[in-house]
Structure 1
Amino acid sequence: MRATANLIIASTISLISLTFSSKIQAVNSSEQLAFLAAEKAFANGDLTNYRKLKNSLKDYPLYPYLEYKELLKKLDVQNRAEIDSFIVTYNDSPLADRLKQQFINQLAAKKQYDVLEQYYNYGDSASLDCQILSHKLKNGSTIKALSSDIEDLWSVPKSQPKECDPVFKKWIDSGAVNHNIAYHRFYRTAHEGSIGLLKYLERFLDRDKRYIVDLWVKAKKNPGVVNRRSFFPGKDPNLEAPILVFAMKRLAWGDRDKAYKVWLHTKNRIPLTKDHEDEVERTLFLALATENKPKALDWLDDGNLNKFITDDLVNHWKLAVLLRNERWETIKELYTLLPINQQQSNQWQYWHAIAQQNLGENEASSLTLKLLAEKRDYYGYLAATRLKQPLKLNHVAVNIPPEVFKKVENSANVKRAKELFELERYINASREWRKQLQLMSADAETQAAAKIAHSWGWYNQGILTIAKSGYWDDTEIRFPTAFKDSYIKMAKKVNLPPQWLMGVSRQESAYGPLAVSPAGAYGLMQVMPATAKVYSKKFNIPYTGRRDLLKPHINIEMGSRYLELRNEQMGENPIYASAAYNAGKHRIDQWIPFGRHPTEIWIESIPYTETRDYIKKVMTYRAIYALKLGVDDDTFSYILNTETGGNDSCNYANASNSASPTC
């Protein structure tokens, strides 16, 4: 088969246009060349050469991709047998679902709903749902029989597609919409939807309840209106109470002190359920705590937050408030009340040990810290640094039985993913990979897949895949050192440690040179194209377009320059600089006035959960990469021996200081 393919390629190579020239230089096999030539021949309508090439590729993993393209041209009812055969034959490939969806769309366009229903899963598309319902109504089904399905489609906090209008009109005209049904949608819309839809829904509410629409509209436009003494008429507390809860939660994340005063003024104006009060008070406490407002500690001391003892986020902010105020005894007491899963977390074990240490219970504290110091994580590295012990890498390579590895390597999805990856068809490669993961149930198979992806240089896929198996100790897969020379080279240029650049990459993209975020950031260090344009001119970096950001050496230079800028802006404070890389300098400038504290406490008190976790991971990954590079790193010494925050001249402490600066 390979010899035949080579002969055909030799006679048809001229069919491949110059647009494929760079691709051909990158591929290695005759089948890949034949596949590209077949695609080109099909696109050009040269079906004679296409069929010759296709016939030579029947054993090639990407053969179904040629069949798929053919079938896209034949999406009609008379070709159902071929379509069904493809869907069954390649049900392990995402192509089957894609072809099925394309066929469904074509059937809908031709209004062949009886056939469409045989392929379509109700609920996948509101537009198709409504088209099918409309078809059923035209063919004798009654509104009563379909009422439940129509109600589900109607009762959402947004406008549905225009295809739903005829169905909804018949349903509404039948008198199916009562106050309860309408209010269910109204309530959801009040919290999630637009003011325009609220006003539309007013007509379906009982007349004596319609006054609630005006209250909701005013509260959505300006939550502060609930503080007006005459705002709530008190006609129906059950309808009015949710407005107060909604408005208070909005106000809480603005002016915290003002929001608290508004709550005291308004909480007794209308009857509230315990759940309503709890919802507001939880939000107010979190908001007050994030800005280090004194009332947060008062509230905690009042015992008013004990009802949230199983709430992870509330407990985190209780801890942050207590740490800021050095309330070690209270931290110990709180620890004893926590659910067992929270007590066993490294975070709570670490801070309980520090509380014990500050209360003179050194033996118990030391025992916990020694156990934590054996771990490869943020709190383990803090504990080890406190005890002046070396940080642990704890590498244990994953052990995969040869027969399991071979089974996964030879699976159809993995073979297709490999070819697609080599052809730089990364989206399709990812689709095949996700499908393969869905088909596997054993952890050993998932671990084998992770090792395979890593061996291809698909590092982020290896990291994400091995995480699915719950195996954390193979630090070769989890912390790749590819492109090491580029990181070291750039580190010298920007005067930053290479392990820091690598740690940022590991967190930003899971070390994926081909990663593209939903926000449009590219590559290893997740560089935005707009940033790349500026930096290409400023630092004379070759850059012709966003695809260049998928080239590791270019991305590393761009990202390193950006981290250099953040580091300079933030006074060479590695915590501020890393946080600014994630959340922007303006956010850190907002957080600095919330108080000056030991750096490890300041990190624990970062208002954004995402950035707080980001900092902990980047600092940990930086230390891990230092171990892998065999270089010294003082990250955790810095965290333990400096102070951060506050509105004085020490805002941007120099990262080279090993002790707290004198201010």
Structure 2
Amino acid sequence: MTFPRLTLTTLACLAVFSLPACAGDADIVSARDAARRNDSVALDAAAAAAQNDLLAGYPQFWRLARSLDRASPTEVHGFIDRNSDGPLGEQLRLLWAKQLAKSGLWRDFAAEYAALPEAARDDEVECYALAERILDNNDKAAVATALKTRWRIGRAQSAGCETLIRTVARSGMVTDDDLWLRAQALLAADRTTAARELTAGTATPLTAAGIARPELADMSTPAGRTLRLYAIQKQMRKDITGAAAQLASLQDRLPARDVGVLWGQIGLASARKLDTIGALSYFARADKASLSNEQWEWWARAALREGRWPTVQSVIESMPATLADNASWLYWHGRALAAQGKPGANRDYQRASDTGNGFYPLMSREELGSSSQPAQSAWKPDAREIDKVRAQPAVQRSLALLNIANSYARPEFREDAKREWRWAMRDKNDAWLLSAAEIARQANFYDMSIYSADRTRSQHDWSLRYLSPFRDVTRRYASQMGLDEAWIYGLIRQESRFVNVARSGVGASGLMQLMPATAKWVASKSGMGSYSVNDIEHNIQLGTWYLNYVYTSLGDAVRATAAYNAGPGRARAWQAERPLEGAIYAETIPFTETRDYVQKVMANAVHYASVFGHSRIALKDRLGVIPPRGGAAVANPSPSPDGN
């Protein structure tokens, strides 16, 4: 009988997490470093040494993943079988399926794809699956799906999706019109070489000389018409109004569908610049069948900003059903009906309310006059339930990986820990999820505690969904700044999920995700002196000072929240020429990330106020009314609604 190696670190794992033997943390870190520097000798040694350990799969995965082009099916399937109790087996199967597709082994690919759970499939493998259906069966439905979802994306896509595009182009099931529509999308993305290659077999292929001067193209040929459309697209980048005028002057000499597609593009560009009058005019001339979900949404947003409720109603009713059934558009459809005195608004609000507990479900419940938050469940996990979850191998691996991430300051292991945790939460009941949320809370794995608690269906623990760690520090600085504690927590939850070493892709750090330049500026302005941005107290002190600064300078929580994410200048620029309902301001923020951020932070504040037992302020009242550009602030609720 063989036994796992017991290092001091392994014993520490056992003591802290009650886990079975885990690989020495240093061995796992060394194995990852070896994989990173392509040191196959060191990696093979680490994989062999860790065979009987809790985390043994990781060095083996890193070794196999970097050599899949040389791996045998037996070796790959052996790993998948040994690691079927977590995400590693699925990850390797996903990589293996892609490798098979790249090698043209489509029958083998189809078998691996079929074995992949839907939750483990990514965008690229779905593209390969469509390509396989076309290659194997001349599947017309797969071609139609690709034309609808991928064909008009001009920017470079994943290898799998580029393979799908090439497969569709060579399938013999696309028309010349489809081909030139694709060429137009490629030109719009400045992929001129790809556009030339795509059209090389046509009677009038695109040329480098023609692409260089598209405004001079002869409109009697498909290539010439495509180039003239490209010239308008190029002009649109710097002069939307001029591009619209040019299209209007040429539209009778261009294919109707292409003209309609371009009007939709001009409408989107105009709406995102908040030229809503122009956008409404351009969208009205668009080819409705070719509009993307984003274009439909911005058409509705333009109508919202202009207060044109009949247009809001008609646009939402014309959207694809799957889009119109989103909580946001159910809510605004209800508002449009109510604004016109038409029946049916409450039906829309009820449907939106039933979708969850986010921004629009809360707004809908308020319109219905009901409570903003379902009742707190009286059920709490007992020791037996918690032990059952803690014994799950994926949970054990997750906590062991979290320990490595924290001990070695290696955030990539935290990502591994999160993958294991999410895998362990799949298809679980509320008792499991709440038990897991409590385990994660005890381990200071706050983001995964929230993740688990957020997934419950009928038994809810709002104190776990809306965790409030570090409350003594946060409450102190909230009081000093006169800010609403619930709003601050709503912002931190969205910024970092309480991961105090969180670092964004643009370099923001800590609980309140401060950019280095912002932290330095705040420290100087506030007289703070020396600081560490990842120190919990320092980060909250700096973050609340800056939040108070933007709140004071802007005058309301909605724009202050937008400013915290995107800067005060942008928050001001997004105001309209007239007072604007806060919910409409938030919905029409041009940046997708900031729009989502503002809505989530403001909804979070409502939930935190309830958890904290503060006096209730409705979400609609928190949003208030945004003053016109350059105008005085319209009275909004106090930033300290807790009464303290």
TM-score band, normalised by the shorter chain? 0.5 to 0.7
Structure-1 residue corresponding to 2:183: 186
CA distance, structure 2, for counterparts of residue 165 and residue 443 of structure 1:
41
Structure-2 residue corresponding to 1:88: 81
C-alpha displacement of 1:308: 4.3
Equivalent of residue 545 in structure 2, options 542, 545, 561: 561
**Mapped contact 1:335–1:343 kept (Cα < 8 A):** no
**Mapped contact 1:596–1:602 kept (Cα < 8 A):** no
Q: Say if 1:31 and 1:396 are closer, same or farther in 2 by CA, change over 3 A.
A: closer
Structure-2 residue corresponding to 1:412: 393
Structure-1 residue corresponding to 2:425: 437
CA distance, structure 1, for counterparts of residue 19 and residue 166 of structure 2:
60
Secondary structure class of the residue paired with 1:575: helix
CA distance, structure 2, for counterparts of residue 319 and residue 281 of structure 1:
21
Structure-2 residue corresponding to 1:499: 486
Give matches, 1:626-645, under 5 Å: 626=609, 628-629=611-612, 639=621, 644-645=626-627
C-alpha displacement of 1:247: 3.1
Deviation by residue 1:517-567 (Cα, 9 ceiling, x = unmatched) = 455544432333443454456533433xxxx53x53343233223212212
| Match status 1:292 vs 2:306 | yes
**Mapped contact 2:377–2:460 kept (Cα < 8 A):** yes
Q: Say if 1:98 and 1:299 are closer, same or farther in 2 by CA, change over 3 A.
A: closer
CA distance, structure 2, for counterparts of residue 615 and residue 160 of structure 1:
30
Q: Say if 1:320 and 1:514 are closer, same or farther in 2 by CA, change over 3 A.
A: farther
CA distance, structure 2, for counterparts of residue 428 and residue 641 of structure 1:
38
Letter in 1 for 2:416: N
Structure-2 residue corresponding to 1:570: 554
Question: Which segment drifts farther, 470-479 or 162-171?
Answer: 162-171
Structure-2 residue corresponding to 1:222: 235
CA distance, structure 1, for counterparts of residue 92 and residue 571 of structure 2:
48
Q: Say if 1:162 and 1:529 are closer, same or farther in 2 by CA, change over 3 A.
A: same
C-alpha displacement of 1:415: 0.7
CA distance, structure 2, for counterparts of residue 173 and residue 578 of structure 1:
50
Structure-2 residue corresponding to 1:35: 24
| Match status 1:347 vs 2:363 | yes
CA distance, structure 1, for counterparts of residue 250 and residue 89 of structure 2:
57
CA distance, structure 2, for counterparts of residue 330 and residue 416 of structure 1:
57
C-alpha displacement of 1:642: 7.1
Structure-2 residue corresponding to 1:380: none
Structure-2 residue corresponding to 1:362: none
CA distance, structure 2, for counterparts of residue 444 and residue 489 of structure 1:
35
C-alpha displacement of 1:252: 4.3
**Mapped contact 2:263–2:283 kept (Cα < 8 A):** no
CA distance, structure 2, for counterparts of residue 496 and residue 315 of structure 1:
33
**Mapped contact 1:202–1:213 kept (Cα < 8 A):** no
CA distance, structure 1, for counterparts of residue 425 and residue 444 of structure 2:
18
Deviation by residue 1:474-517 (Cα, 9 ceiling, x = unmatched) = 12211222111221233345443433322221233334435444
Equivalent of residue 376 in structure 1, options 349, 365, 373: 373
Equivalent of residue 256 in structure 2, options 211, 214, 237: 237
Structure-2 residue corresponding to 1:473: 460
Structure-1 residue corresponding to 2:409: none
Secondary structure class of the residue paired with 1:231: helix
Equivalent of residue 512 in structure 2, options 501, 525, 532: 525
Give matches, 1:239-254, under 5 Å: 239-254=258-273
C-alpha displacement of 1:227: 3.0
Q: TM-score, normalization: structure 2? A: 0.68
| Match status 1:581 vs 2:561 | no
C-alpha displacement of 1:62: 2.2
Give matches, 1:40-189, under 5 Å: 54=50, 58=52, 60-68=53-61, 83-98=76-91, 157-158=154-155, 179=176, 182-183=179-180, 185-186=182-183, 189=186
**Mapped contact 1:503–1:622 kept (Cα < 8 A):** yes
| Match status 1:650 vs 2:632 | yes
Q: Say if 1:589 and 1:634 are closer, same or farther in 2 by CA, change over 3 A.
A: farther
C-alpha displacement of 1:321: 7.5
Give matches, 1:605-624, under 5 Å: 605-606=585-586, 607-608=588-589, 614-615=597-598, 617-622=600-605, 624=607
C-alpha displacement of 1:432: 1.1
CA distance, structure 1, for counterparts of residue 65 and residue 294 of structure 2:
54
Q: Say if 1:636 and 1:534 are closer, same or farther in 2 by CA, change over 3 A.
A: same
Q: Say if 1:504 and 1:244 are closer, same or farther in 2 by CA, change over 3 A.
A: closer
**Mapped contact 1:92–1:435 kept (Cα < 8 A):** no
Equivalent of residue 602 in structure 1, options 582, 604, 608: 582
CA distance, structure 2, for counterparts of residue 560 and residue 146 of structure 1:
60
C-alpha displacement of 1:40: 7.2
Letter in 2 for 1:407: K
* Structure 2 unaligned residues grouped into runs of 5+: 115-120, 205-220, 237-241, 355-360, 406-412
Structure-1 residue corresponding to 2:118: none
Question: Which segment drifts farther, 639-648 or 226-235?
Answer: 639-648
Secondary structure class of the residue paired with 1:396: coil
C-alpha displacement of 1:421: 1.2
| Match status 1:395 vs 2:395 | no
C-alpha displacement of 1:217: 0.4
Aligned-residue sequence identity (percent) comes to: 21
CA distance, structure 1, for counterparts of residue 288 and residue 348 of structure 2:
22
CA distance, structure 1, for counterparts of residue 514 and residue 476 of structure 2:
19
Secondary structure class of the residue paired with 1:92: coil
**Mapped contact 2:25–2:404 kept (Cα < 8 A):** no
**Mapped contact 1:453–1:461 kept (Cα < 8 A):** yes
CA distance, structure 2, for counterparts of residue 115 and residue 455 of structure 1:
47
Question: Which segment drifts farther, 171-180 or 204-213?
Answer: 171-180
Deviation by residue 1:201-256 (Cα, 9 ceiling, x = unmatched) = 44445654333312320231234444345412446434443333433443444433
Question: Which segment drifts farther, 404-413 or 92-101?
Answer: 92-101
Secondary structure class of the residue paired with 1:603: helix
CA distance, structure 1, for counterparts of residue 364 and residue 170 of structure 2:
59
CA distance, structure 2, for counterparts of residue 479 and residue 78 of structure 1:
46
C-alpha displacement of 1:575: 3.5
CA distance, structure 2, for counterparts of residue 441 and residue 581 of structure 1:
36
C-alpha displacement of 1:34: 6.6
Structure-2 residue corresponding to 1:330: 340
Question: Which segment drifts farther, 519-528 or 417-426?
Answer: 519-528
Structure-2 residue corresponding to 1:383: none
Q: Say if 1:467 and 1:614 are closer, same or farther in 2 by CA, change over 3 A.
A: same
CA distance, structure 1, for counterparts of residue 317 and residue 26 of structure 2:
67
Letter in 2 for 1:645: P
Letter in 2 for 1:257: I
Equivalent of residue 450 in structure 2, options 453, 463, 474: 463
**Mapped contact 1:179–1:204 kept (Cα < 8 A):** no
Letter in 2 for 1:469: T
Q: Say if 1:642 and 1:441 are closer, same or farther in 2 by CA, change over 3 A.
A: closer
**Mapped contact 1:580–1:587 kept (Cα < 8 A):** yes
Structure-1 residue corresponding to 2:529: 540
Letter in 1 for 2:245: N
Secondary structure class of the residue paired with 1:561: helix
CA distance, structure 2, for counterparts of residue 278 and residue 419 of structure 1:
44
Q: Say if 1:532 and 1:180 are closer, same or farther in 2 by CA, change over 3 A.
A: same
C-alpha displacement of 1:200: 4.9
